[in-house]
Every structure is written in C-alpha cells, then in structure tokens.
Structure 1
Amino acid sequence: MSNGAHYEVLARKYRPQTFLELTGQEHVSRTLQNAIDSGRVAHAFLFTGARGVGKTSTARILAKTLNCERGVTHEPCNVCPLCIEITKGTSTDVFEIDGASNTGVDDIRELRDNIKYLPSHSRYKIFIIDEVHMLSTSAFNALLKTLEEPPDHVKFILATTEPHKLPVTILSRCQRFDFKRVAVTRIVGRLRQIAESEGITVNDSALALVARKGDGSMRDALTAFDQVLACCGSIVLDEDVATLLGAVDRQLLGKISGAIFNGDTQGVLAGVKMVDGVGYNMRQFCQELIEHFRNLLVINSVKKPEEILDVSAAELDELRQQAEGFSSLEIQRRLTLLIKADADMAQATFPRLILEIALLKLATLEPVVPVQELLEKIKVMEAGAVHTPALPWKAERTPPAVESRRHEPTHSSTPTAPAASPPSAGPRAQAPGSHSDWERFVGYVSEKNPVLGSILEHGSPLKQEPGSMEIGFPAGSYYLSSIQDSASIVEIQDLAQAFTGLKTVFRVTPITPEGGENPLSLVEKKKSEHEQRQDELKQEVASHPVINEALRVFGGTITEIREA
C-alpha cells in the first residue's frame, strides 16, 4: 500500500526539465535558446498547440533558464534552489494561473497589482497563464495595457489550445510559438527510453499502439503507457496492449485488407466478427481501416512515404509488403467506399451491418481499366489496326461493350445539310463456308466471351468446313499471340461445337502480306465498307442541288457530314 501511495505517474516523473528533453518541439526550443543567447527575450510569449505537446513544460523550462542562479542560459541547471522551486511549483516569483478558474476581471486586476512589486529573490517575476482563451472579455481588456508595457522585471507566458478565441489585441502583443503534434515515431522513441529506464520488456509494435493512442499528445501517450504497465507489469505483450487500449491490432487490419484484395468474403466477415467480439466500436474500426488504406495509397503514390506517413519503421515495412501488387486505382476506389460507409454509420442503427456490406463490396469490386485505355481500345477496334498497345485484356472480367452504331467521319456545311439516306443492309448469305457464317460465329462468341470475340474480329477465315475451322492472324501480331494459348483454343472449339452442332477442330495460322490474298477480317471488312460508304456520301453531298445552292448563297464550305 505504501508503494502505491508514493507512486509517481510517468507523465510527471518523466516531464521534460530541459529544452533538450523536449520531444518533437525542436523548432520552439531552438528559437527560445537563440533568443536567450542573443539577449532578445521578449516580455510576452504565446504558446499554442494541442493538449499534452509540451506547452506548460516549455513555459517552466523557460522560467528556469531566466531565473537560474547560474545566470540566464539556454539550459537550466536544475540543481540550484531557484530551479528546484520552479520544478516543484513552489517558487514565489513564478506564478502558474489557470485561465479557466480565474476568468474574471477582478482576478486580472489582482495580478496587475502584484506586478508592481519586485521579485522576492529571483531575477524575474514570471506569470504563466494556462488556457488563456478562457478569460472573459473584460479580463482581456484589463490585461492589455500591462501585457503591452510590463515592468522590466516581469515576463508573461500565455498558453492555449484554441488561439483563434483570443482577441487580436492580445495576439499582437505576444511572440507566438506554435507547438506541433508529436509524431508517432518520436513518441515511440521516448516510450522506448522510459521502458528501458523502468526495466520494461515491450516490442516496438506495442509501443506504436500506445503512441497512436496518444494521438499526437506525449502526455496522453504516457498516461496510456501507465495504464498498460499497471495491467501487464514488466512484460508487455502486443495483444494485451490492443485489448487494454481498445486499439485494433495492425495485423488484423492487414489481414482484412488482404482478404479484401483477394476477394475472400469469408475472411472479411470473420475479421468483422473478431472486431465485434472484443467489443470494439465499429465506426472507430472503420476509421482505422480508412487510415490503413490511406497509408497504402500514399506508399503506392510517392517515392518517399516515410516523409508523409506518421508510422514507425516496422509498420512502414509491413505496409510496403501489403501494398505490393495493388495499383493506386484499386486502393483509391476502395478507400472512397470506406469513407462513404463511415458517413453512413454516423446515424445508423446497425453499424456492423453497414460495415459488412461495405467490406463485401470492397472484396467483390470488379477491376476497371482507365478511361484513356478504353478510348484507345475503341479507336483500335474501329480503325481495324493490326497492332495495338499492350492493353489489359486478360485482366478484364467484363470488357466494355462497343456500340454497334457507326460513327462515320463526315462533312457538314454552315447550313444544315439534309440527312443522307442510310446504306442498305447487305445480303445475309447462308451458304456453308461463307463470310456471313464467320461473322455470325464471331457474334456468337462475342456474346459468350467478349474478349475472345474482339480478338476473332481481327482474324481472316482461311477455311470453314463442317468440323474444321482455320483462321489466319498477322504474324507477330498481338492477336496471334493472344489466341494461341491452349485455353483459348479449347474454349473456341467448345463454342464452335455449340454453334454448329459438330465437334470442330480450330486451327490458328500466321499470315503475311506476301503470302497472297487472304480473306478480309471482320475489322478489315468493316473498314472497307466504311471507306466505300464515305465515298458514296461525298458523291451524294457533292451532287445535292440544295446543298450546292446553300453553299453558293451563304459562301460556305463543307467541313463535316453526319449521317442521320
């Protein structure tokens, strides 16, 4: 019982006593030390920043450097009586005032009266006003004149978490220092030092969980670490920290994200069940999953993610392994769905159900091809080019449908030209082995397997007989290499048997322009028909009397023709 009564919490025991010990605020320490060394110490300072980042500790360190018996120096000695008094909070010349408790104008007037008297045994009277934004308007007004022109023996240090609530008249009278949120890596480093001093056995992954619980606040992280030590003693395990702090284990986030990318719906729902089993808040878990996917996105998007992400070195290595093999587009699409799920869960009666639905969508999300690649593919298909850029045909589960309507490049005049009559449909020959049979077979394949159908459109039907089919593709072309694999051959033979009712042998033959005249492929046939129709349209427009008269009257020229 006696040991417990004298226990000092870590946040107090390891409170910074010098600028060197101040973690994550080096920009403030360096500026204050330079001001002290050069003799340019202002009469009023304003320290702003989130809770637990070192504002009050810095104010005390500054007070000790100004009043240290060894003289004004950039680091206090912490052994002289004056330094010890300030550390213990018993100095009669350093006043720590809680702005939340002393909000009235009478409190400030009492402070102003106290300023007139010289310090009892120190170099300066120093007034540290914490949470200064809580002062009333009248209290601020009473402080203004004193804050602007205090006596030479007085220094003011104001601290606040909400500087936007301070009047501009106060802000303009102080040197402002903005304290940063402490990075996870810096908190982990400090916790490691404390663990070694206390004889604690703990992994960096567990310390990272504690640091993340602090959310940028060193004091909050130390308080959480205190709680962990009270429960676990001198040996701290990762799973104990995760359970005690209500934090999701990073490994669980990795497993669920892996299940999402692998399409493992069973693993996804099992992960949600584990989260629910430990009583973790579903929306909080969703937000941590959002952060996890954001980290993966950053790693896939920049060359030096360590400069962007606030994670430990070990966590960064794990994230790099998880991000391998996934594109930024895949991650971004899933991240967008998670953000929407988080918004839906805010007012939901069944947050677990919303999360499960969202994660199932993530796991079953169809792959997409960038719009530019789709446009390029459509251009290639319409132009009937033999060689195309490497496009992810194999990766597509459902390739985009190509519109069957023609888009003829035409000419139009300044007046609207009459719509040209549509071309008459060609005869549909049904004789065995005709080009029409090949076209109908390719149409059938396109319905069953659009990828194979789009490749067959570039093939020339060399031989079509009952039970046999030989198709030629340009030697060295993309389409030849795509159709030659055994799986594609077997699938085409099965489709041919279903189409003709006969077991069919399908053969692929490389062809070259020097090999003689070969039948046109469907793409070449469409191109030929397109060019023929283009010539017909030009002749029709050129001989149309109304159009010619309109061009003469208005002085126009034909720039485009569109077939209705």
Structure 2
Amino acid sequence: MSYLVLARKWRPQTFSDLTGQEHVSQTLQNAIDSGRIAHAFLFTGARGVGKTSSARILAKALTCEQGMSPEPCNVCSACTEITAGTAVDVLEIDGASNTGVDDIRELRENVKYLPSRLRYKIFIIDEVHMLSTSAFNALLKTLEEPPPHVKFIFATTEPHKVPITILSRCQRFDFRRIPLGKVVGRLRHIVDQEGITISDEALTMVARKGDGSMRDSLSVLDQVLAFCGDQVRDEEVVSLLGVVDRRLLLDATAAVFGRDTRAALGIVARVDEFGYNMRQFCGELIDHLRNMLIIKAVGDASDLVDLSEAELAVLRQQVDSVPLDDLQRHLAVLLRADGELAHASFPRLILEMALVKMATLAPAVPVDELLEQLKKIEEGGAGGVADARAQWRPAPQAQHAPSAPVSSNRPAGRQAEETPPAPVRRREEAKPAAEPRRTGDEWADFVALVRGEKPRLGSMLEQGSPLAVSAARLEIGFPEGSFALASLRDNDSREALKGLACRFFKGEPELVFRTIAPGTDEAPPNLLEKKRVENERRQSDLNQVAISHPAVTEALDVFGGTVADVVSLERKE
C-alpha cells in the first residue's frame, strides 16, 4: 500500500477539526442550522489554511444522508464518497486547467440537470481567479440565478484578481493565517496519534517553517520524520531545516544588552561555523528583536507574536531590564545592516560591525528626565545657568563713553583699516603721520607701526625673533629657509622697512637679517609664539573659572558628564 502523506491523512473532516478558522466554521454552521444557505460561497486566504477542506466539509454537511447538520456524520455513503472524491454530484474543478469559456459553457449545461442521488449538485472551483475574463462573463448569469439544486463554492489565494461582478454574487469568507501556537497544538495531536517522540521546541521550529500554513507545516513534518524516524532530536531538526537555533538569538541579544563585544563577535563566529547565511541570521535576529519590542511595549503579546508560551517566558525575562528606546535603536541598526548585507562582499564584517555598534550604544536618556534635571538646576540655590551666563558675559560699555584706546597688540593703523574713514580724513592724508603709540616694548611697538603702514611686512616681522633692537642696530633672526626671510631681503621690502625703522627710532639703525637655529637661546620667541602662549594662558584661566562655577559643578553632578570645551561668550557672539 502506498504511503499517504500527513497533509492528506489528517485533512480536516469536520468543522471542529478546522484549526484557526473558527470564525468561518461557526458562520457556516449557523447558516446550516437556520437554513439561510447561500447559493455561492467564495473562500479566500493564504495557501494551506483550509479553504478546500472547508469546501468539502460544507458539501458533506449539505448532502449528508442523515440530514443537513452543522457536522457531517462521515459514515454515510454520501460523506464517504465526497471524502474519497468519487461523488458524482460534487464536482471539483481546477480553475487553472479549465480557464476557457468553453469549460464554463459545459458547466452551464451540466447545471440544468438534477443531482443523481445527493440533495444538491455542488461545484467546487479551486483557484477561481485563474479563469479568463470571458469565462467569468459566461458564468455571471448562472451564478446570479442558479437552479435551487445547485451550490457554488469558489476558492482562491488572490481575491483581488476576481472580478467585482463575481464577488458581489458570492458570500465571501476570508481565511486567516493560522497562529503558531495552534499549529503546534495540532502537530502535537498528530504526532501523539502517530506514536512519534518529538519535543515542543522541534514542533515549534516545524510550525515556524510552515509560516502559518497547516499544509506546509505537515509537509515539513513529513520531511523531518523521513530523516529522523520516530525518535526526533532537536539538533537533527535544526540541521535538516537550516533554521537558526533560537539559543543563538538569545545569546546574541544577551551579549548586546550586556554590552559584551567579545561575546557578540563570538556569536557571529558561531553563525559562520554552523554555516548559516549571514543575512538569514540577521533577519531572524530582526524578528527576534521585534518580538521583544512588542512584549516590552504591550506586556501581554501572546496574540501579536508567533511564539510558544515557553519562548514568551524567556523573552519576558530577558527584556525586563531593557528600555524600549534601546530596543528601537537596536532594531534600526539591524535594519540598516540587513539592507547593506544584500549587496555586501563581506557579509560577516557587516554583521560584526552591527553587533559591536549595538553593544556599544550609549544609553538613551528620556527627554522627560532631562527636562526634570534641567529644572532642578534652574531651581538650585547656586545661581543657576542664567546667573552663570551673566557672570561670564562682559559688562557692556556706556553709550556715552569714548572709544576704547588701541591696545598694545592692536595698533592704531590696524584700527584705521577696520573703521571706514570719514570724508574729512581724505583731506588729512597729506599731514605727517601721528607719532606711534609706545607701550614700553620697542620691538612690539615697531612691528605694530609696520603692520599699520605695511600689513604684509608686519605679518612677516611677527615671524622673526628680535636679536638686537636699538637706534643703532636692528637685527632680526629667522629660521633657515624661511619664506619671510627671503621676502624681507628683497630690495623694495628692505627699503620700505628701512624708512619705517628710521622714523620709529629717530635715527638710522643698521638693518640686519640672519638665519638662526630654532629652539636655542639665540632665538628668543617671536610675536606669534608670544600670542599663542598668551592665548593658551587665557583659555586655561577661562576653563578654570568655568569648571569651578557652582552651576557647572551642579550640572556635571546631575548629568554625570564632563566638560568638553569652554568658549568665551565674547568669541561666540
């Protein structure tokens, strides 16, 4: 005797056997009880969820020799013939093979005749969406007003391809994907009846591979039994189906939540060692984190996730201490990695980078908590942030005060360049230049004069070290190969600088340029180096003032942070 696969052997024979379609079976049973039986039914839904089985059960309930009842007896000749597919008055037509208008014309001719021995003549058309437009049009009149002894039952996986004129003439029943828990329960009943030893974890893997289809799940179970026999081990199921072991997913999330990068990289190494596809593992991990996010968000998520009670308990325990925001950020990282894996030449590297990034993500601080902490700072007795800003901001000058004098490092000539001259200044250009302002540092004052008169020469002098500064000798040192030294030795530059030196020192100093070795006592610091040292000292003082301010200290204590940079309010504005 040939072997009968489980999907056929355990096909539902009564409405109570239908798994996961209680809304359909209850409606059909009530219609039979009340006698409100339509002449045409349309069963829609995914593959393997019970559409054709429901059509046969409905046909048996309508034609049972014990009388029409919500449940067929399955022992009379009418029920047994329909179960075996040999009933002459129940015609099962494959819509994919009989798509033409001639097939429908033949059906219309057959409709006229009374049933041979059953109560009704029933036409079951599977994959009805495959009929041609002409065939649908030929069926319209018969479908709208069929003889009282005829019932039509259509089944399809793509109802959107059925013309609206057909849909409006049928009672439509949408079959749902079967939840994972119900598939596992049905598989457990079957394996117990078959005398097979298999764990609930293995059945869950089989059901998950079926993706909501009972027929697909039974086909996978047949494959597992052919490989393992009557004693099925979990490791054999994992190896046969090529699914990712749930323990790997749990270990991966545990490493991420524990911020253990070594363990996270070890998970990728194990995935590679087992031969799993990196993108498949990433997809499984995305689904795993999605389940955790739903559990965290709604609490009781048994109707929203395809997980067994044991798996739900494990996930609830693992996700208990993980913030919802962190789960969302982890999912975003994985989704981006999944897109990159589709075209990556180094998929392992992409997955490793994603897991390391997830394990090192900085904890997210809720906005409400930040606002509360800021409120505490503002209400604190140390003056608050506003007082700190007021203390650091320089006091504004009075509107009637005269303009500030030019500082030693900002000569009058420089100020003249930045302030647009009034028209009257043009008439004063012929007057002798004003006496340069003296600060006591002859070299700095001389460079300030040169910058005011000849900015290019002044910027070059700032790079030189003053070796001798007097009315008799002006000696300036530059590093060997300096561009400024070569430029100042030019005749025009030398003559211009000579004239300015005579004017400043009120004499005729000897102008000497020479090279010096940097980093020696022979080379005193130039003006640029002095400015840099002064700026560093000023910034150090500013940092010290900022860090020691009570408001800043309190903010650092509340947020647990560190000062990254201090910017002067004058410079910022």
What is the root-mean-square deviation of aligned Cα atoms in Å?
A: 3.4
Structure 2: how far apart are the matches of 1:60 and 1:403?
80
**2:80 pairs with 1:84:** yes
Instruction: Give 1:180 shift.
Output: 0.6
Q: Work out the CA distance in 2 between the residues paired with 1:94 and 1:88.
A: 11
2:187 is matched with which residue? 191
C-alpha spacing 1:337/1:176, structure 2 compared with 1 (3 Å): same
2:212 maps to what in 1? 216
- What corresponds to 1:308 in structure 2? 304
**Residues 15/458 of structure 1: CA separation in 2 closer, same or farther (3 Å cut):** closer
Cα distance, 1:302 vs structure 2: 1.4
Counterpart check, 1:288 vs 2:284: yes
Cα drift, residue 199 of structure 1: 1.0
1:66 CA displacement: 0.7
* Residue pair 1:442, 1:457 contacting (<8 A) in 2 also: no
Partner of 1:244: 240
> Using a 3 Å threshold, how does the CA distance of structure 1 residues 407 and 122 change in structure 2: closer, same or farther?
farther
Is the contact made by 1:264 and 1:363 (CA closer than 8 Å) also made in structure 2? yes
Question: Which letter maps to 1:150?
Answer: P
Describe the SS at the equivalent of 2:154: strand
8 Å CA contact 1:124–1:154 kept in 2: the answer is: yes
Separation of aligned partners in 1, 2:548 and 2:249: 43
1:300-339 equivalent positions in 2, closer than 5 A: 300-339=296-335
Match of residue 55 from structure 2: 59
Match of residue 551 from structure 1:
none
Task: Give how far 1:279 is off.
Answer: 2.9
Q: Is the 8 A contact 1:384 1:458 kept in 2?
A: no
User: Offset at 1:456?
Assistant: 3.7
Deviation at 1:15, TM superposition (A): 0.5
Q: Secondary structure at the match of 1:307?
A: coil
Q: Which residue of 2 aligns with 1:29?
A: 25
User: How far apart, in 2, do the equivalents of 1:67 and 1:383 lie?
Assistant: 83
Aligned-residue offset at 1:17: 0.3
Number of the residue aligned with 1:370: 366
Equivalent residue for 1:170?
A: 166
Contact map agreement 1:59 1:128 (CA 8 A) in 2: yes
Distance 1:110 1:279 in 2: 55
Structure 2 gap ranges (5+): 392-397, 405-539, 563-571
Shift of 1:454: 7.1
Q: Letter of the 2:318 partner, please give it.
A: Q
CA contact (8 A) 1:386 1:458 kept: no
> C-alpha separation between the residues in 1 aligned to 2:265 and 2:204?
26
Equivalent position of 2:472 in the other structure: none
Matched letter for residue 298 of structure 1: I
Query: Which letter does structure 1 place at the counterpart of 2:374?
Result: I
The alignment status of 1:360 with 2:356, answered yes or no, reads yes
Residue 407 (structure 1) shift = 8.6
The number of residues matched between the two structures is: 423
C-alpha distance in 1 between matches for 2:400 and 2:165: 77
Determine if the alignment matches structure 1 residue 381 to structure 2 residue 370: no
Pairing 1:486-497 to 2, within 5 Å after superposition: none
Residue aligned with 1:304, SS: coil
Q: Deviations over 1:193-235 (max 9, x none)?
A: 0111111111111111111111010110111111111111112
State the alpha-carbon separation in 1 of the partners of residues 43 and 400 from structure 2: 78
Q: Give the match for residue 463 of structure 1.
A: none
Instruction: Give the partner amino acid of 2:97.
Output: S
Rounded Cα–Cα distance in structure 2 between residues aligned with 1:15 and 1:306: 27
Which of 124, 129, 134 in structure 2 is aligned with 1:138?
134
CA shift, 1:445, in A, is: 8.4
Identity %: 62
Question: Within 2, Cα distance between the matches of 1:338 and 1:303?
Answer: 23
Q: Which one-letter code corresponds to 1:287 in the other structure?
A: G
C-alpha deviation, 1:345, in angstroms: 2.3
- 1:346 is the counterpart of 2:334: no
Q: 1:96 aligns with which of 92, 98, 112?
A: 92
State the distance in 2 between where 1:272 and 1:403 align.
51
User: 2:302 is paired with a residue of what secondary structure?
Assistant: helix
Aligned to 1:449: none
* TM-aligned CA distance change 1:378 to 1:199, over 3 Å: same
Determine the structure 2 residue equivalent to 1:106. Answer: 102
SS in 2 for 1:333: helix
**Equivalent residue of 1:156, what SS?**
strand
What's the CA shift for 1:403? Answer: 11
Deviations 1:400-440 (A, max 9, x none): xx9999499xxxxxxxxx9999xx9xxxxxxxxxxxx9996
Distance verdict in 2 for CA 1:403–1:230, change over 3 Å: farther
Counterpart residue type for residue 336 of structure 1 = A
The offset of 1:354, in angstroms, is 2.0
Is contact 1:442-1:456 (8 Å) kept? no
Q: Partner residue of 1:38?
A: 34
The one-letter code matched in structure 2 to 1:203 is S
Return the letter of the residue paired with 1:168: I
Q: 1:372 offset after TM fit, Å?
A: 3.2
Cα distance between partner residues in 2 of 1:455 and 1:220 = 65
State the match for 1:10 in structure 2. 6
Residue in 1 that maps onto 2:68: 72
CA contact (8 A) 1:44 1:147 kept: yes
Residue type matched to 1:88 in 2?
A: A
For 1:281 and 1:158, the matched residues in 2 are separated by: 40
TM-score with structure 1 setting the length: 0.69
Alignment of 1:467-506 (within 5 A): none
- Corresponding position of 1:160: 156
Distance 2:381 2:6 in 1: 72
Q: How far 1:39 sits from its partner (Å)?
A: 0.5
Q: Deviations over 1:121-176 (max 9, x none)?
A: 11111111111111111111011111111111110000011111111001000000
* Alpha-carbon separation, structure 1, partners of 2:80 and 2:175: 25
- CA deviation after TM superposition for structure 1 residue 97, in Å: 0.9
Question: Does the residue aligned with 1:28 lie in a helix, a strand or coil?
Answer: helix
CA contact (8 A) 1:201 1:234 kept: yes
Q: Structure 1 residues 206-215 or 333-342, which shifts more?
A: 333-342
User: Once structures 1 and 2 are overlaid, which stretch shifts more, 325-334 or 375-384?
Assistant: 375-384
Amino acid at match of 1:206: A
CA–CA distance in structure 1, aligned partners of residues 386 and 244 of structure 2: 49
Equivalent residues in 2 for 1:544-559, closer than 5 Å: none
Distance in 2 between the 1:365 and 1:312 partners?
A: 30
Compared with structure 1, are the counterparts of its residues 403 and 90 closer, same or farther at alpha carbon in structure 2 (3 Å cutoff)?
A: farther
Instruction: Return the alpha-carbon distance in structure 2 between the equivalents of residues 54 and 443 of structure 1.
Output: 74
CA pair 332-403 structure 1, distance change in 2 beyond 3 A: farther
Whether 1:254 and 2:214 are equivalent positions in the alignment is no
The corresponding residue for 1:227 is: 223
Larger mean Cα displacement after TM superposition, 306-315 or 148-157:
306-315
Q: Aligned partners of 1:154, 1:188: CA distance in 2, in Å?
A: 38
- Determine the C-alpha separation between the residues in 1 that align with 2:148 and 2:390: 85
Distance 1:203 1:66 in 2: 40
**Conserved 8 A contact 1:187-1:211:** yes
Structure 1 residues 219 and 371: alpha-carbon distance in aligned structure 2, compared to 1, 3 A threshold? same
Structure 1 gap segments, 5+ residues each: 389-401, 409-417, 425-436, 447-452, 460-477, 493-562
The higher radius of gyration belongs to 2
Instruction: Give 2:259's aligned amino acid.
Output: G
Deviation at 1:308, TM superposition (A): 2.3
